[in-house]
Structure 1
Amino acid sequence: MFVALERLINLQDGYRRTFKVAGHDLLLLVVEEQPVLLENRCPHRGAPLHDATLSGQTLRCARHGIEFDLRSGRPLNGQCASLSLLRLAYDGDRIGIDI
């Protein structure tokens, strides 16, 4: 089942918004003109990532400073699991997720 999150026309660099889908907190970002959907929690200690800083393709958790590569989800500094990156789906002029 497709769950729409946003209209494509609204996705510009710097876009950042949280969503709750099927009990999961999600974060949709647009980085270098590419949408990225991930779980809105740091795998290190569960801190929300909606207030994380962004530099290019690197997302830095505001709570403990762990940095993640948004292309792979892997941590760049620190020992923890990778981000939970989710596959985006498209339906007409909408972007979302298939659940």
Structure 2
Amino acid sequence: MFVALERLLNLHDGYRRVFRVAQRDVLLLVAEGRSFLLENRCPHQGAALHGATLSGRTLRCGRHGVEFDLDSGRALNAVCPGLLRLELAYDGDHVGVDL
């Protein structure tokens, strides 16, 4: 089942919004022209990531400074699990997720 999150025309570099999908908070963001969907939770200690800083395709958690590569999800400067990323799906002029 497709769950629409946003219209494609609203996506732009710097876009960031949290959605509740299947009882999980997910973060949709756009960095360097590419859209990413991930759990809105740092795998290091559970902090919300919607306020994290973004530099290129590196996301830096505001709580402890752990940096993550958005392309791979892996932590760059700490030993911890990687980001839980979800596959984006597209339907017409909407981006979302298939459940």
- TM-score band by shorter chain is over 0.9
TM-score, normalization by structure 2: 0.99
1:16 positional shift: 0.3
1:92 positional shift: 0.2
- Work out the percentage of aligned pairs sharing the same amino acid: 69
Q: Secondary structure at the match of 1:9?
A: helix
RMSD (Å), alpha carbons: 0.3
Instruction: Give the match for residue 80 of structure 2.
Output: 80
1:13 positional shift: 0.5
Name stretches of at least 5 consecutive residues in structure 1 with no aligned partner: none
- Asked if 1:63 is matched to 2:55, the reply is no
TM-score, normalization by structure 1: 0.99
Name stretches of at least 5 consecutive residues in structure 2 with no aligned partner: none
Q: Secondary structure at the match of 1:28?
A: strand
1:43 positional shift: 0.2
- Asked if 1:94 is matched to 2:97, the reply is no
- What's the CA shift string for 1:14-56, capped at 9, x where partnerless? 0000000010000000001111000000000000000000000
Instruction: Give the match for residue 47 of structure 2.
Output: 47
Instruction: Give the match for residue 2 of structure 1.
Output: 2
1:79 positional shift: 0.9
1:71 positional shift: 0.2
Q: Secondary structure at the match of 1:19?
A: strand
Instruction: Give the match for residue 13 of structure 2.
Output: 13
